[in-house]
Structure 1
Amino acid sequence: MNNERGRLINVGYRMLGSYSDAEDAASEALVRWYRLTEAERNAIDVPAAWLTRVVSRICLDVLASARVRREKYVGQWLPEPISGLGADNVTATDPADRVAQQESVTMALLVVLESLTPAQRVAFVLHDAFAVPFDEIATVLDRSPAACRQLASAARTQVHSRRSSADPREHDRVVRAFAAASGGGDIASLVSLLAPDVTLISDGGGVVSAARNPVVGSDRVARFIRGVAEKSRALEWSIESVNGLSGIVARSNRVVVGVMGFATSNGSVSDVWIVLNPDKLRHWR
């Protein structure tokens, strides 16, 4: 069941945006499996499908309560970043499905998914990322297959309207240029890499200092970044894979203290997400 636990965490992470919560959901699903009698387990034709349904229902409940919890969250809330993608985060064997799973874990998509209703998010993740048929999704959401199809379609429309995308190589080029300009002396070079309406969000969770509100606009974001760079010269900065795309990781004495993800489009940075909350960085340690 170790392989199943990893797969369930993958499903849960995309639904919840929190690796820690996804681990808890996967563990709970497996506990429910082992609580079944041997006869009950033998009566289940596809254990993996059963576990997917159970973890999805658990995530649905967590999503419903998460909105209340996040209203009390100090400052801005961002998804918990993960290092790279790794084999454990992409389980599909079909090339098209693998691409869908890879794209479904980017910071840009996870941020957009936060704007969906719990039912929309579950339907979208199960169908678009894991190719679960709508007949099975219907058993999770307790709705008709047609209704689940509509939920996924509405989610897909919202995702495509709000998510920016770029070729990973172009994304890497822009992020590296951004990193170089951030530490340079010419703020104009940094501004030139930012979209006019670029938005920066930082998440300290009330544990460490972070901007309480989004920073919007190329000039304001550039000055914010330069201020952070000036105050953090003692940190070690490196370009690393963050949720499958190039990002920036900051370390102090080899301990990760900040992870920066980006959305890029048309050769410029359109969004910057800085996760500083140590509770969301434990997997980087």
Structure 2
Amino acid sequence: MTQAPKSQPELFDRQALAIHRTRHQPEALFLHELARDEVEDRLTLVNRTFTKPAIVTPFAEIWRNSFQNSKIVADEDVLDLAPGGHDLVVHVMGLHWANDPVGQLIQCRRALSEDGLLLAITLGGRTLHELRSALAEAETQVSGGLSPRVAPMGEVRDLGGLLQRAGFALPVADVVPLTAQYRDSLHLMQELRAMGEGNAMTQRLKHPSPRALFAQAEAIYRQHFELPNGKLPATFELVCLTGWSPSESQQKPLRPGSAKVRLAEALKVPETKLPD
């Protein structure tokens, strides 16, 4: 009898993530506060009044004074969102921990009424690149190998592609960079734990690492990235994703070959034939 192949293990241990989040310190949630401010600023630029918003977030308290009558939803694998029940869905600081980010976005699209707006903010690929590189080099030197320590995060181009895969119209992705400064790498790792952003990868080491590893990582971090004031920089990259639930009323791209004016004529430049 042939046995069914075993499914691949999920990238993130959601149970461990939930435990990490219960231990968060409110004063350490500055990234969530920045994301909230970014959402509020961007919505002021949208010529639309939203009356049925939903907010997907791991920390409801951040949104307590924002968006009256909004439904606050935890970023579980299955989102508590009714189909077509919202004209705005805000998904904040959870996609980088999703085992199925496309599935999360599809659920958001299905929860939107026609011509509804999704605004998602997640951490992007350059987040903590300094710490990632210092730990990887140190572990190679101390242990002769690598283990998962900093979660992989999507690049802006790839994250924008997820919107298209999820069926959103008019998708846009852009980046808000932020650099914070820390006394040392231990200070940074302590703050990550206080954010609820500790290592929750399924394949993470389950036993303590040697002290020599972190001492070497600190030395490497300083060698490559130390600032003139003696502090260590840490990059956080917020990727902002916007997309609309499809509607016949939305602007559509022109069909190829349908232009009435040649590009060279519109730009008032001579047209040069390309070589064969």
Give the TM bin, normalised by the shorter chain: under 0.3
Larger Rg: 2
State the structure with bigger RCO (CA 8 A, min sep 6), 1 or 2: 2
TM-score, normalised to structure 1's length? 0.24
TM-score (norm 2): 0.24
